[in-house]
Structure 1
Amino acid sequence: MGVSMQTAEMWVERWERQQRRYAVDREERFTVIADVVEHVCAGRPRPLLLDLGCGPGSLSARLARRLPDAEIVAVDMDPVLLELGRTHHPDAAHYVDTVIGADGWTDALGLRRPLDAAVSTTALHYLDEATLLGTYRALAALLRPGGALVNGDHFPPGTTPCAGLTAHVGRRRAERTGCHDHEDWRTWWAQASQEPELADLFAERARRRPPQGVSGAEDLSLDRHTDLLHRAGFGEVTPVWQFGDSRVLVAVRQ
């Protein structure tokens, strides 16, 4: 049995609320990412975009509204989130089930032309540093010259005092906006696992295992990400928006 639109809408809306706890000014971050993509794709008749770690289609849906002529491929490895996206945002993207950074993961995308932009938000930090470098290299190979990777995530500064300061500013901003009044990530997953319509998807989720050797790169500094991107084949790398250590980082393919 598939997931009904009503059920998908409820769980996606709850997902949107709980994610605000973890991405400072999340909606503004989405808007900035769309601004960059719009600029990079100016004059392209049917831009091709890749949404990495798409979850239930939050960023893809916003990009589809901003760039209605774009073709969007949205990638995730979680069967629950992918099905919620396919049901709630069916026209926003073509959803692909694959593990970012795994061997041959780009083959599953079915791309027939170079990408104009790759985007991500609060997703790539789960990759360890070596896998992240390999992913950056794969994306550089998929992007056209002048295409861009646009990544919204936590990029702390390299020095400990400044890292503590930016994290504090971000937390205070979240407190002022009431984001911590929403349920958290763990509560969302615990409650969603009790939804009868999602039972088969949760069973499939339980059968899967995370890639071996993945410890996450949450603590990689902005400078370290910049170095990895340069090594992967990107030319210019710059943050275009920041609040606390939440940033939108843009890397342009040479």
Structure 2
Amino acid sequence: MADTVTGSFGADWQAWQDSWDRQQEWYMPDREERFRVMLDMVEALVGPAPRVLDLACGTGSITDRLLKRFPLASSTGLDLDPALLTIARGHFAGDDRVTFVTADLKDPGWRSALPHETYDAVLTATALHWLPSADLAVLYGQLAPLVRPGGVFMNADHMPDPATPRIDAAEHAHRHGVMDATRARLGVPDWREWWALAAADPVLAEPTKARFAIYGEHADGDTPDEAWHARTLREAGFAEARAVWRSPSDALVLGLK
């Protein structure tokens, strides 16, 4: 919607959730497809009533889709971002299937904030590229004990193939051309504009200020390819690991305990 660029939602948490989803879907038109495959694999491997850790949960986009598909599921959402957690807590207020915790994944003791020792599934999307690969390898080692035997970890993120630079460049140019046309037609806010809206809204102004004090504009992570993720998960203690979905630029890697 064109008016989302200049809108102010106050404490209308559904409106903030929808606005975040539109902004993210502008960058990733296949976002719902990766979520669908993620939940397909949850159902296939651990069943329709999983205990889930929504890692780096943001506004709770994964949790939202999880509970709509699996009403008997439960979710722990973990993040450090005070603005996105404010939206998540507001959006899921009163739902006793959902718990949110604030924790920094770079803190060696972050797992102590969790309400459970193990989970059927740990899920994350478009978040862990904020970590350098050395830190991500450490995190994968910390995640392995959290996933019960037979449980799963899934990470959907940017995973370009360094062996195909011309293909990657052509895909990038085409995707951004489509994004520009979509933006001109619908007026979807980009990343910076969305955060400017949040900073200008009385309800989110202080959490947004705190968020930028933590992260700055963007963290300095990197984007190893899917082979690195699969190999590192196996080295961390997962019995099997491979991509179960991919687009020209992104992939969903699954590790099975």
Q: TM-score range by the shorter chain?
A: 0.7 to 0.9
Q: How does 1:203-214 map to 2 (within 5 A)?
A: 203-206=209-212, 208-210=213-215
Determine the structure 1 residue equivalent to 2:26: 21
Verify: 1:138 aligned to 2:142, yes or no. yes
Determine the structure 1 residue equivalent to 2:123: 119
Shift in Å, 1:199: 2.6
Q: Distance in 1 between matches of 2:112 and 2:226?
A: 29
Q: Distance in 2 between matches of 1:96 and 1:237?
A: 28
| DSSP 3-state at the match of 1:54 | coil
Q: Which amino acid aligns with 1:104?
A: G
Contact 2:195 2:208 in 1 (8 A): no
Instruction: Quote the RMSD (CA, aligned, Å).
Output: 2.4
Q: Which amino acid aligns with 1:98?
A: A
Verify: 1:84 aligned to 2:87, yes or no. yes
Determine the structure 2 residue equivalent to 1:196: 202
Contact 1:52 1:118 in 2 (8 A): yes
Determine the structure 2 residue equivalent to 1:69: 72
Q: Distance in 2 between matches of 1:127 and 1:175?
A: 28
Q: Would the alpha carbon gap of residues 175 and 96 (structure 1) be closer, same or farther in structure 2, given more than 3 Å must change?
A: same
Q: Point out the more displaced range, 77-86 or 241-250.
A: 241-250
Verify: 1:187 aligned to 2:190, yes or no. no
Shift in Å, 1:179: 6.3
Q: Would the alpha carbon gap of residues 225 and 215 (structure 1) be closer, same or farther in structure 2, given more than 3 Å must change?
A: same
Q: Distance in 2 between matches of 1:172 and 1:152?
A: 23
Contact 1:55 1:81 in 2 (8 A): yes
Q: Distance in 2 between matches of 1:28 and 1:68?
A: 20
After TM superposition, what 4+ stretches of structure 1 lie above 6 angstroms from structure 2? none
Q: Which amino acid aligns with 1:190?
A: A
Contact 2:46 2:150 in 1 (8 A): no
Determine the structure 2 residue equivalent to 1:155: 159
Could you state the TM-score of these two structures normalised by the residue count of structure 1?
0.85
Shift in Å, 1:47: 2.2
Instruction: Deviation per CA, 1:195-219: give whole Å up to 9, x if none.
Output: 011233234335x4349xx63023x
Q: What is the count of residue pairs matched by the alignment?
A: 242
Q: Distance in 2 between matches of 1:145 and 1:99?
A: 25
Q: Which amino acid aligns with 1:18?
A: Q
Q: Structure 1 stretches of 5 or more lacking a match?
A: none
Q: Would the alpha carbon gap of residues 100 and 6 (structure 1) be closer, same or farther in structure 2, given more than 3 Å must change?
A: same
Contact 1:241 1:247 in 2 (8 A): yes
Q: Percent identity?
A: 34
Contact 1:54 1:75 in 2 (8 A): yes
Could you state the TM-score of these two structures normalised by the residue count of structure 2?
0.85
Shift in Å, 1:75: 0.7
Q: Which amino acid aligns with 1:118?
A: V
Which of 211, 230, 236 aligns to 1:232? It is: 236
Determine the structure 2 residue equivalent to 1:36: 41
